[in-house]
Homo-oligomer: A and B are copies of this chain.
Amino acid sequence: MKKYVYMFPEGNGSMRELLGGKGANLAEMTVLGMPVPQGFTITTEACTRYYEDGKTIHPEIQEQILEYLDKLQQVTGKTLGDPNKPLLVSVRSGARASMPGMMDTILNLGMNDTICDAVAKLTDNPRFARDSYRRFIQMFSDVVMELPKSTFEVFIDQVKEKKGVKMDNELDAEDMSELIELFKAHYQKSLGEEFPQDPKKQLMEAVRAVFRSWDNPRANTYRRMNDIPHSWGTAVNVQSMVFGNMGDTSGTGVAFTRDPATGEKKLYGEFLMNAQGEDVVAGIRTPQPISALADTMPEVYQQFVDISSRLEQHYGDMQDMEFTIENAKLYMLQTRNGKRTAQAAIKVAVDLVDEGVCTKEQAIMKVEPKQLDSLLHPTFVPAALKAATPIATGLPASPGAACGAVYFTAEDAAAAHKNGQKVVLVRQETSPEDIDGMAVAEGVMTARGGMTSHAAVVARGMGTCCVAGASGVKVSEEDKTLTFADGTVVKEGEAISLDGSTGNIYLGEIATQDAELTGDFGRFMGWADEIRTLKVRTNGDTPRDAVQARKFGAEGIGLCRTEHMFFETERIKAVREMIVSDTVEQRRAALAKILPMQRGDFEGIYRAMGGLPVTIRLLDPPLHEFLPQEDDDIKELADEMGITFDKLKSKVDDLHEFNPMLGTRGCRLDVLYPEIAEMQTEAIISAAINVWKQDGIEITPEIMVPLVSEINELRFVKQVIKAKADALIEASGLPMQYLVGTMIETPRAAVTADMIAEEAEFFSFGTNDLTQMTYGFSRDDVGRILETYFDKKILESDPFARLDQQGVGKLVRSAAEAGRSTRPNIKLGICGEHGGDPSSVEFCHAVGLNYVSCSPFRVPIARLAAAQARVKELGKA
């Protein structure tokens, strides 16, 4: 029989796949001799087995759990349910990747009426015993029985009101007794059964609940956002309890070895005396800074500082730790690599290299590529900011600047975002249920909670600006209003601005500006560039895009979409004239009007790129996209064009397609109307000639033929291109080279890539269309089913955001191989939106592409992802 349970000393830090991050690190700390309460870990394999077995814990696994419980009882000398030596345990989830707050935790398990009395007697602290019991009832009910915690809060409020106090810690032992009775009655009434008194039953139910929580909606959303497969499962850690709520020499806290917002090297954290861990994380009471511990308990503080420092050295990274002090004795409950802002991540990585703690390669691995995003987005324009006076200030929980319309629920925020609004999510405090709203918000503001509150941790992880714990601000989620200390009321839909780096809150919108990309960021990205072998280009259609992308380090343009130029107001007239032409001559005449404009565009782009490669794609969309579809609009345009309604209408009807995605577009247009390819070739080549002659910039244009599915298509269009290009170049007298290549974006192009490479001098994988056709998913229509597919575990991620390596990726891989087999020096790139997705970039590196091309703001992400892929490949992580 497989081993499904490990005592902490049986594991170590390298076993995170099996034991989860928390379990592996508890084992590692135990092995390092640090003060860790004893316990055992139920493996992630037990969790996947639970799902395979139709959501039941196999009897053999149950047996192993009880066997290891026995071992724990022997080691601790305490026994679950034994009033003489009662063992109480925590039951906590712990997946391979950290998913803070996404799954469930139960503390004080083992409590029942008898044990509560026994603990009261043993500790001579009835308030502590009863407080622990009532907490356990609440957590067990919530997590195991799905009877929400909040339904219990009512009773606490009742008791506090009756007593005329405000804080939980003002309640005494008697009050706790009353609460226990009220809680048990509520449990009985709501669930039709007594609160379970058998600790072993409690344990098994709790384990089951943690397994189940792996599949809760917020965990699923989090996983999807963070590319964590459902199949990983979570481990469960059962650990003997230590108590931070035993009195004034007890407490609990969390801390980082460096400031997770700025990266500054100093112990950073918070603690609460006489409290359990949930109180800190939930942000209900406002905790003290960790430095205050030096005054109250200097020895414990020093011990903690030493342990922190050892852990950071040991793991070579900034640590995020949980600890509890029980009667002045320190216990470590968790350590992990700390989540941090992008800014902090960069600073920590650079500092760790400077401190000699890790190599550049290791440093590169410490920053999530996606996080960089937050460094690239606008901050407030200083002048605009100067003019603005904050109306309130909260904690600077996640840096960046944001402005948008306020919404008070995750649903409303998501709905407004869907309607194209920039939104700021405003909440009393966030909870894991708010994750969907946070994901779409420009910024998040909460009235309560500290720097390690849920809102702060999650926003930092997302790279979203967050101001937390804004005191003096009243949030009424019911009335959908935000009331400031001076009486100003902001209603739903009105704008505020947030500065996540200072914590300031402003009324209205404040102008923003781009980020600076120098200093630590520059050094760090320089290392990434040294390490990576995969080039990074950008998708850009205008000189402005080109300038922006070069700032972000783009090494060329991988995709310049010429049709965007066609849509501009002045040009669309000529484009439409071309479309309604009846003869080749008319079409040529209309194209001749477009030519100088398009040539001008290309000149601007070539100049902006200063000789870096530029790949220009020939016209791609179906022609009907340039014409109106409604009769009224057709009439208007017909008048404007001086043709009859009937003529234009019949043209529109002619061009109508049942499935435009699979219709007359891409190179098919050039086969039907070679004069389009001719005109575009002339614009591309003559622009290059002009810039070369005027600015001395040597250019090798790359002309890309889209939507090829058959080598003969490319052969035909290439002949058209060559005839025009060769004539222009010869006439220019310049020694200009140019390349003709193709998109690989139909499955057939991928499958026949060996043949296509006979003509194509480069391939650019158009993974957007390739994904559409390989799945048979229209991107415009897939929204209807995607949510259901996620819910039913049919898909784990959106294949349009993250390259599907099993299907689409297989085609990319084999096409790359086939292309190279025909033309060993063929240039290979990718220009779908996947080019900016880190896991997809890693795949592109592994497949041996020469470059990825992505939108300008994703260029730094791709550079870092490419470096990480290289580090992994070399095994230097």
Once the chains are docked, how many angstroms separate the CA of A747 from the CA of B658? 20
B794–A671 CB distance below 8 A? yes
Q: Mark A670-698, 1 if CB is under 8 A from B, else 0.
A: 01100000000000000000000000000
Q: Mark A708-745, 1 if CB is under 8 A from B, else 0.
A: 01101100100000000000000000000000000001
User: What are 10 A-B pairs at a CB distance below 8 A?
Assistant: A657-B778, A658-B780, A661-B776, A662-B773, A662-B777, A671-B789, A712-B792, A713-B794, A716-B792, A751-B807
Q: Which of A745, A781, A811 has the most CB of B within 10 A?
A: A781
| Also in contact, A806 and B755, with CB within 8 A (given A785-B672, A794-B710) | yes
Q: Which chain B residues border A776 with CB–CB below 8 Å?
A: 661-662, 707, 709, 745-748, 769, 773
Q: Does A774 contact B (CB under 8 A)?
A: yes
A773–B785 CB distance below 8 A? no
Q: Mark A305-333, 1 if CB is under 8 A from B, else 0.
A: 00000000000000000000000000000
Q: Which chain B residues border A748 with CB–CB below 8 Å?
A: 774-776, 804, 807-808
Q: Does A382 contact B (CB under 8 A)?
A: no
A-B CB proximity, top 6 nearest: A662-B778, A659-B778, A747-B747, A748-B807, A746-B776, A658-B780
Q: Mark A774-818, 1 if CB is under 8 A from B, else 0.
A: 111110110011001100111100000000101110110000000
Q: Which of A671, A751, A808 has the most CB of B within 10 A?
A: A751
Q: What's the minimum C-beta distance from A660 to chain B, rounded to whole angstroms? A: 7
Q: Does A573 contact B (CB under 8 A)?
A: no
Q: Which chain B residues border A795 with CB–CB below 8 Å?
A: 710, 712
Q: What's the minimum C-beta distance from A755 to chain B, rounded to whole angstroms? A: 7
Q: Which chain B residues border A774 with CB–CB below 8 Å?
A: 709, 746-748, 751, 773
Q: Does A148 contact B (CB under 8 A)?
A: no
A785–B671 CB distance below 8 A? yes
Q: What's the minimum C-beta distance from A787 to chain B, rounded to whole angstroms? A: 10
Once the chains are docked, how many angstroms separate the CA of A119 from the CA of B781? 78
Q: Which chain B residues border A668 with CB–CB below 8 Å?
A: 785
Nearest chain B residue, comparing its CB with the CB of A771: B748
Once the chains are docked, how many angstroms separate the CA of A464 from the CA of B668? 35
Candidates B716, B781, B794, B808; contact of A794 at CB < 8 Å: B716
Q: Which chain B residues border A778 with CB–CB below 8 Å?
A: 657-659, 661-663
Q: Does A262 contact B (CB under 8 A)?
A: no
Q: Which of A707, A773, A788 has the most CB of B within 10 A?
A: A773
| Also in contact, A781 and B662, with CB within 8 A (given A776-B748, A794-B712) | yes
B751–A810 CB distance below 8 A? yes
Q: Which chain B residues border A709 with CB–CB below 8 Å?
A: 774-777, 807
Q: Does A752 contact B (CB under 8 A)?
A: yes
Q: Which chain B residues border A663 with CB–CB below 8 Å?
A: 778, 781, 784
Once the chains are docked, how many angstroms separate the CA of A769 from the CA of B804? 21
Q: What's the minimum C-beta distance from A434 to chain B, rounded to whole angstroms? A: 27
Nearest chain B residue, comparing its CB with the CB of A747: B747
Q: What's the minimum C-beta distance from A72 to chain B, rounded to whole angstroms? A: 39
Q: Does A343 contact B (CB under 8 A)?
A: no
Q: Does A840 contact B (CB under 8 A)?
A: no
A792–B746 CB distance below 8 A? no
Nearest chain B residue, comparing its CB with the CB of A669: B785
Q: What's the minimum C-beta distance from A797 to chain B, rounded to whole angstroms? A: 12
| Also in contact, A773 and B747, with CB within 8 A (given A663-B781, A795-B710) | yes
Once the chains are docked, how many angstroms separate the CA of A508 from the CA of B775? 52
B746–A775 CB distance below 8 A? yes
Q: Which chain B residues border A775 with CB–CB below 8 Å?
A: 709-710, 746, 748
Candidates B710, B781, B789, B804; contact of A659 at CB < 8 Å: B781
Q: Which chain B residues border A785 with CB–CB below 8 Å?
A: 664, 668, 671-672
Q: Which chain B residues border A341 with CB–CB below 8 Å?
A: none
Q: Which chain B residues border A707 with CB–CB below 8 Å?
A: 776
Q: Which chain B residues border A213 with CB–CB below 8 Å?
A: none
Once the chains are docked, how many angstroms separate the CA of A774 from the CA of B672? 21
Q: Does A371 contact B (CB under 8 A)?
A: no
Candidates B664, B784, B789; contact of A784 at CB < 8 Å: B664
Nearest chain B residue, comparing its CB with the CB of A661: B659
Q: Does A772 contact B (CB under 8 A)?
A: yes
Nearest chain B residue, comparing its CB with the CB of A745: B776
Q: Which chain B residues border A672 with CB–CB below 8 Å?
A: 784-785, 788
A811–B751 CB distance below 8 A? yes
Once the chains are docked, how many angstroms separate the CA of A709 from the CA of B795? 11
Once the chains are docked, how many angstroms separate the CA of A716 from the CA of B788? 12
Once the chains are docked, how many angstroms separate the CA of A795 from the CA of B671? 12
Q: What's the minimum C-beta distance from A349 to chain B, rounded to whole angstroms? A: 38
Q: Which chain B residues border A716 with CB–CB below 8 Å?
A: 792, 794
Once the chains are docked, how many angstroms separate the CA of A712 from the CA of B710? 32
Candidates B747, B752, B769, B781; contact of A664 at CB < 8 Å: B781
Nearest chain B residue, comparing its CB with the CB of A707: B776
Nearest chain B residue, comparing its CB with the CB of A814: B751
| Also in contact, A662 and B659, with CB within 8 A (given A748-B808, A774-B748) | yes
Once the chains are docked, how many angstroms separate the CA of A148 from the CA of B272? 103
B660–A661 CB distance below 8 A? no
Q: What's the minimum C-beta distance from A800 to chain B, rounded to whole angstroms? A: 12
Q: Which chain B residues border A746 with CB–CB below 8 Å?
A: 774-776
Q: Which chain B residues border A811 with CB–CB below 8 Å?
A: 747, 751
| Also in contact, A772 and B662, with CB within 8 A (given A788-B672, A794-B713, A794-B716) | yes
Q: Which chain B residues border A804 with CB–CB below 8 Å?
A: 748
Once the chains are docked, how many angstroms separate the CA of A785 from the CA of B671? 9
Q: Which chain B residues border A657 with CB–CB below 8 Å?
A: 778, 780-781
Once the chains are docked, how many angstroms separate the CA of A55 from the CA of B299? 96
Once the chains are docked, how many angstroms separate the CA of A795 from the CA of B657? 21
Nearest chain B residue, comparing its CB with the CB of A666: B776
Once the chains are docked, how many angstroms separate the CA of A662 from the CA of B659? 8
12 extra interface residue pairs, beta carbon distance < 8 Å, beyond A663-B784, A751-B811: A658-B660, A658-B778, A659-B659, A663-B778, A663-B781, A672-B785, A710-B795, A710-B807, A751-B810, A752-B806, A752-B807, A755-B806
Nearest chain B residue, comparing its CB with the CB of A755: B806
Once the chains are docked, how many angstroms separate the CA of A578 from the CA of B671? 45
Once the chains are docked, how many angstroms separate the CA of A418 from the CA of B777? 32
Q: What's the minimum C-beta distance from A721 to chain B, rounded to whole angstroms? A: 15
Q: What's the minimum C-beta distance from A265 to chain B, rounded to whole angstroms? A: 47
Q: What's the minimum C-beta distance from A622 to chain B, rounded to whole angstroms? A: 9
Nearest chain B residue, comparing its CB with the CB of A808: B748
Q: Which chain B residues border A752 with CB–CB below 8 Å?
A: 806-807, 810
Once the chains are docked, how many angstroms separate the CA of A710 from the CA of B713? 31
Among residues 70 to 108 in chain A, which have CB atoms less than 8 Å away from a CB atom of chain B? none
Q: What's the minimum C-beta distance from A359 to chain B, rounded to whole angstroms? A: 39
Once the chains are docked, how many angstroms separate the CA of A715 from the CA of B716? 44
Q: Which chain B residues border A747 with CB–CB below 8 Å?
A: 747, 773-774, 776, 807, 811
Q: Which chain B residues border A780 with CB–CB below 8 Å?
A: 657-659
B658–A661 CB distance below 8 A? yes
Q: Which chain B residues border A661 with CB–CB below 8 Å?
A: 658-659, 662, 776, 778
Once the chains are docked, how many angstroms separate the CA of A636 from the CA of B793? 40
Q: What's the minimum C-beta distance from A366 to chain B, rounded to whole angstroms? A: 34
Once the chains are docked, how many angstroms separate the CA of A776 from the CA of B769? 9
Q: Which of A657, A712, A777 has the most CB of B within 10 A?
A: A777
Q: Which chain B residues border A789 with CB–CB below 8 Å?
A: 671
Once the chains are docked, how many angstroms separate the CA of A668 from the CA of B777? 10
Once the chains are docked, how many angstroms separate the CA of A778 from the CA of B660? 8
Among residues 600 to 645 in chain A, which have CB atoms less than 8 Å away from a CB atom of chain B? none
